[in-house]
Amino acid sequence: MERHSRIFVAGHRGLVGGTIVRDLQQRGYTQLLTARRDELDLTRQASVDRWMAQQQPEYIFLAAAKVGGIYANNTYPADFIRDNLQIQTHIIDAAYRYGCSKLLFLGSSCIYPKFAPQPMPEDCLLTGALEPTNEWYAIAKIAGIKMCQAYRQQYGFDAICLMPTNLYGPGDNFHPQNSHVLPALLRRFQEAAESAAPTVVCWGTGEPRREFLYVEDLADACHFLMQSYSSPDIVNVGVGSDISIRELAALVGQTVGYKGAILWDSSKPDGTARKLMDVSRLKGLGWQAQTSLAEGLRRTHNWFLSHRQQEARL
C-alpha cells in the first residue's frame, strides 16, 4: 500500500473508520476514498457496484457496521443481523469483482463462544454457543470472516480479518442507551459529577471482566497488518489484559472527578463473564498496544467535553 494508493475506508463516520482515516492522513496517504450515506448505500448491492466501478479502490478497510451495546442488540436483533450481513457481503464481493488488491475486514471479540477459554485464542471460533445478548451481531461477523476466507480459497482474493476487543476513544458513541459500556459510563459519571448526584447506578453486578483497546492503537494495528500480513487466519487485536466493570466504573469516576457512591442494579444483565483476547499471534507478528487505559480514558474524556461544548455553540 503506497502513499498514492486509492484507499477506501468504509464506515469513515464511525469510531473505527474515522480514526483509520485520521491515521492514514497523518501517515501521508493522499488518495483516501470516503462516501456519505446519500452517496453510497452499503446495504444495496447496486449502489455498492456503481460506486466501486467509478472509484476503483485498490485497498479497502471494511470498518462499516451497525454496532451497539447490550440494550441495542437485544432491542433490534433483526436490524443487527440484516444490516451487517448486507454491508459486508456487498463490499467483499464487489471488492473482488472490481479488482481491489487487498481488503481488511474488522470483526469483533463477540464472535467467540460465551464460555470460551480465557484468554480467547483465535482457534476457539465456532467451538461453542454464543452469548445470547449479542449473537445476531456475532453471527453476521462470523459470516464475514468465512466469506473472506472463502474468497481467498476460491478466487485468491487477499482478504485479512482482524478481531478487535472492546474499543473506545475520541469519536465514540455516547448515547445513554445505545452505546457500549465505557462511553456509557463516562457520560453517566460526567453528568452525575456536574449535577452533584449522590449516587450513580450501573447495570449488572460489576463482576464481569472486559478488555479495552484505545481506538488509535487499533488504527495503528490495521495499518501494520494491511502492510505486512496475508493469511486466512484471523488475528486478535487487543491489549492482553482486562479489568472488572466495577473497577472500570471506579476509574471512570476518578477520571471525571465524581465524588458520590456507585450502586449496582443486579436485575440488569451482565453479559459474558469474561472476554479477554489471546494476542500472542499479533505480538508474534511484531505489534502490541501502547496506550494505557488510564491515559486513553483521559483523552476520551477530554474529547467528550470538547465535543459537547462544540455542539452547544452550534
Task: Specify the pLDDT at position 313.
Answer: 47
Instruction: Enumerate the active-site residues.
Output: 137
CATH number assigned to the domain comprising residue 214: 3.40.50.720
pLDDT digits (tens, 9 = 90+) for 265-282: 999 888 778 889 999 999
Residue written as grid cell 467535553? 305
Flag whether 1 is in a domain. Answer: no
Q: Is 176 annotated as a binding residue?
A: no
**Rounded distance between C-alpha atoms, residue 304 and residue 101, angstroms:** 37
Encode 287-307: b = buried (16+ Cβ within 10 Å), e = exposed: bebebebeebbeebbeebeee
Domain count, the chain: 1
Q: Is 16 annotated as a binding residue?
A: yes
Q: Is 306 annotated as a binding residue?
A: no
Flag whether 220 is in a domain. Answer: yes
155, exposed or middle or buried, with CB in 10 Å at 0-12, 13-18, 19+?
exposed
Q: Is 108 annotated as a binding residue?
A: yes
Flag whether 50 is in a domain. Answer: yes
Q: Confirm whether pTM is higher than 0.85.
A: yes
Provide the residue range defining the domain that includes 293.
6-313
Q: Hey, what's the cell of 4?
A: 498514492
pLDDT digits (tens, 9 = 90+) for 102-144: 999 999 999 999 999 999 999 999 999 998 888 999 999 999 9
